[in-house]
Amino acid sequence: MTDKLIIFDTTLRDGEQSPGASMTRDEKIRIAKALEKMRVDVIEGGFPIASRGDFEAVKSIANVIKDSRVCGLARALDKDIERAAEALKDAVSPRIHTFIATSPVHMEKKLHKSPDEVLEQAVRAVKLARNYTDDVEFSPEDAGRSDLDFLCRVIEAVIDVGASTINVPDTVGYTLPEQFGHLIAQLRERVPNSDKAIFSVHCHNDLGLAVANSLSAVANGARQVECTINGLGERAGNAALEEVVMAVRTRQDIFACQTNLDTTQIMNCSRLVSSITGFAVQPNKAIVGANAFAHEAGIHQDGVLKDRETYEIMRPEDVGWKANRMVLGKHSGRNAFRQRLQDLAIELNSEEELNAAFARFKELADKKHEIYDEDLQAIVSETLITERERVKLVTLKVCSETGEKPHASVTLSIDNVENTVSASGSGPVDATFKAIEALLNSNTKLLVYSVNNITDGTDAQGEVGVRLEKDGKIVNGQGADTDIVIASAKAYISALNKILMPLKRKHPQAAREV
Ligand code: KIV
Ligand code: ZN
């Protein structure tokens, strides 16, 4: 029998630390439910002390998720651990994840603490966390640059006081696969009580090695991998869940372990996270990119038609590429709509929300013959967002003619008061954004503007992503419509709403208060 490889998803915590990827409580619940349906073992819901919103999100996830463990992050501080315990108190299977940095540079420059003080703080934190749950995970932050002897001392001490998972983070994505695998092997060999804990890894992608490092660790005995959907995460991101899981599954000749995941849910989770955060998936991204299973070259197509194994090492349906493409259309009723949302693990909070989403679905079905899962995800994201936004798009009229300057007239509802303004610009999108700005005067800087088709065909919805910056704060907005100028206006307004309703939160790895 092979070992189990525990999949710990941190999309809702580390993933959310990507600039502009912050999510609301309801969005986090939607993702958590999709992760549970995929049978992820542990869901890290957030960092409860960071803000009231983070606390509420972890608490709500703890209340609704039954089949996966729910984890809250806490620095090695009493108040963080108490707050995490409070957020998790109703969880069926709660886990507290506490951490403190162990590398010389972090201890000296960030914490201003000696190694002995750090060790003492780590032990105290794990002891305190154990008062609330038997399931305590400890991370020596920046383990990839920590001294091996010191790391062994800290790990031995925290296992002694009850940490059952030891997570080894390569916080800055510095290590190389062979070196990182060797580190895990050394820790398991040298820490006297290492058999009393599961070894886990948490790799960042600064050198593009997060997945390779994680797999090397698994080959050397790690039995938990921390990862995120689409590789979302701080800076260059974390190890991509879909890549780790499919590598282990595809190369069973190498790995002596298996995950419990329903891999056919991967595409659903990938699309959901991309539609909620506005982080588009690059077409050539492994497993979930639009081209991941597309065979362009004639010779490849010919080979695949004769025998798919000639060029395919995985089947697209195994990760949900084809299996989930049930089509709805304008004759589909409320029941079919509701059923498909349920299949996608999307639960709306009330009948009103379902009605609003269904009305949008009907509107779209009038313009577009076939509605796919990707369209449904976009419809639900938009319904949930726009219900509570301060600024709403009421109407948009754009005039674009050869030889003439494009012109846009926009009516916005701002705190329930409607205003109309017109502007011209170098293109229809530029004119639209200028008109919106004439009303809101936001003083934001447009960092990124991107358009992707959600499905194929010229009647497809365009999904527009907009990234804005104001006073160092970065937000993403997204909008979808069969008309890309309208999608652009929706995306711009959704980003502006986030600027107008800022979320205040602490960063878990910041030096302050540690
Ligand atoms: O990257 C890191 O070190 C982390 C820890 C909090 C586990 O995210
Ligand atoms: Zn991290």
What's the 110 CA to ligand 2 centre distance in angstroms? 16
Torsion angle, alpha carbons of 101, 106, 107, 108, to 10: 180
Inter-residue contact 225 to 168 (CB < 8 Å): no
Mean pLDDT is highest, among 70-84, 336-350, 467-481, for: 70-84
How many other β-carbons are positioned within 10 Å of the β-carbon of residue 385? 21
Is the confidence at residue 49, as pLDDT, over 50?
Answer: yes
Burial of 449 (0-12, 13-18, 19+ CB in 10 A): middle
> Which homologous superfamily does the CATH classification assign to the domain defined by 389-500?
Alpha-isopropylmalate synthase LeuA, regulatory domain (3.30.160.270)
| Closest atom of ligand 1 relative to the 14 alpha carbon | 8
| Closest atom of ligand 1 relative to the 508 alpha carbon | 6
| Best probe residue, ligand 1, of 10, 12, 14, 49 (max atoms within 8 Å of C-beta) | 14
Q: How far apart are CA 490 and CA 401, in angstroms?
A: 23
The two tokens of residue 70 are 């729910």
Q: Name the packing angle between helices 177-190 and 210-219 (round to 10°).
A: 40
The two most distant CA atoms of the chain are separated, in Å, by 78
**3-277 has which fold?**
TIM Barrel (3.20.20)
Q: How far apart are CA 200 and CA 7, in angstroms?
A: 10
What's the 167 CA to ligand 2 centre distance in angstroms? 11
Q: How far apart are CA 494 and CA 275, in angstroms?
A: 13
Q: What ligand is nearest to the CA atom of residue 144?
A: 1
| Closest atom of ligand 1 relative to the 10 alpha carbon | 8
Is the confidence at residue 513, as pLDDT, over 50?
Answer: no
Q: Which of 31-35, 357-361, 451-455, 461-465 has the lowest mean pLDDT?
A: 451-455
pLDDT at position 500? 80
Q: Which of 74-78, 342-346, 411-415 has the lowest mean pLDDT?
A: 342-346
DSSP state of 501: S
Which letter, b or e, does each residue of 405-433 get, where b requires 16 or more Cβ atoms within 10 Å of its Cβ?
ebbbbbbbeeeeeeeebebebeebbbbbb
The two tokens of residue 461 are 């919805």
What's the 501 CA to ligand 1 centre distance in angstroms? 28
Q: Tell me, what amino acid is at 195?
A: D
| Best probe residue, ligand 1, of 44, 96, 99 (max atoms within 8 Å of C-beta) | 99
Sign of the CA dihedral running 326, 328, 329, 332: positive
Which residue would you say has higher pLDDT here, 159 or 321? 159
Mapped onto helix, strand or coil, the DSSP state of residue 455 is: coil
H-assigned helices in 43-147? 52-64, 78-87, 104-105, 115-130
Please name the residue that has the structure tokens 């009393």. Answer: 196
Q: How far apart are CA 401 and CA 483, in angstroms?
A: 16
Is the confidence at residue 301, as pLDDT, over 80?
Answer: no
Supply the mean pLDDT for the chain: 91
CA atoms within 13 A on the CB side of 100: 29
Please name the residue that has the structure tokens 């197509």. Answer: 301
Tell me the pLDDT band of 457, cut-offs 50, 70 and 90.
confident
Residues with CB under 6 A from ligand 1: 14, 99, 139, 141, 169, 171, 202, 204, 508
Tell me the pLDDT band of 96, cut-offs 50, 70 and 90.
very high
Average pLDDT for residues 208-220, to the nearest whole number? 98
The two tokens of residue 321 are 């590429």
pLDDT at position 350? 86
> Nearest C-alpha to atom 8 of ligand 1 is from which residue?
14
The kind and range of the H/E element at 479 are strand 473-481
The terminus-to-terminus CA distance of the chain in angstroms comes to 44
Q: Long-range pairs for 501-504 at CB < 8 Å and ≥24 separation?
A: 501/390, 502/473, 503/22, 503/51, 503/53, 504/51
Which letter, b or e, does each residue of 32-56 get, where b requires 16 or more Cβ atoms within 10 Å of its Cβ?
bbbbbbbebbbbbbbbbbbbebbbb
> Nearest C-alpha to atom 1 of ligand 1 is from which residue?
171
Q: What ligand is nearest to the CA atom of residue 233?
A: 2
Q: What ligand is nearest to the CA atom of residue 97?
A: 1
Average pLDDT for residues 272-287, to the nearest whole number? 90
pLDDT at position 324? 43
| Closest atom of ligand 1 relative to the 167 alpha carbon | 7
Q: How far apart are CA 154 and CA 102, in angstroms?
A: 8
Each residue's pLDDT tens digit, 494-509 = 899 888 876 567 788 8
Inter-residue contact 485 to 432 (CB < 8 Å): yes
pLDDT at position 266? 97
Inter-residue contact 265 to 38 (CB < 8 Å): yes
Q: Name the packing angle between helices 148-160 and 115-130 (round to 10°).
A: 30
pLDDT at position 514? 40
Q: How far apart are CA 219 and CA 243, in angstroms?
A: 15
Tell me the pLDDT band of 456, cut-offs 50, 70 and 90.
confident
Q: What ligand is nearest to the CA atom of residue 80?
A: 1
pLDDT at position 475? 85
Average pLDDT for residues 220-244, to the nearest whole number? 97
User: Who's near 14: CB < 8 A, 6+ residues apart?
Assistant: 44, 202, 226, 228, 232, 233, 234, 238
Average pLDDT for residues 415-438, to the nearest whole number? 95
Question: Closest Cα partner for 83 from 435, 508, 512, 475?
Answer: 508
Q: How far apart are CA 165 and CA 441, in angstroms?
A: 50
What's the 169 CA to ligand 1 centre distance in angstroms? 6
Q: How far apart are CA 35 and CA 67, in angstroms?
A: 10
The distance of Cα 206 from the centroid of its chain, to the nearest Å, equals 17
Tell me the pLDDT band of 484, cut-offs 50, 70 and 90.
very high
Q: Any idea where the domains of the chain sit in the sequence?
A: 3-277, 325-385, 389-500
Model pTM? 0.87
Each residue's pLDDT tens digit, 150-188 = 999 999 999 999 999 999 999 999 999 999 999 999 999
| Closest atom of ligand 1 relative to the 226 alpha carbon | 7
Average pLDDT for residues 95-124, to the nearest whole number? 98
The two tokens of residue 493 are 């307004």
What's the 284 CA to ligand 1 centre distance in angstroms? 27
Planar angle of CA 289, 293, 295, nearest 5 degrees? 125
Q: Which of 94-108, 273-287, 296-310 has the lowest mean pLDDT?
A: 296-310
Is the confidence at residue 326, as pLDDT, over 60?
Answer: no
What's the 281 CA to ligand 1 centre distance in angstroms? 23
Q: What ligand is nearest to the CA atom of residue 227?
A: 2
pLDDT at position 448? 87
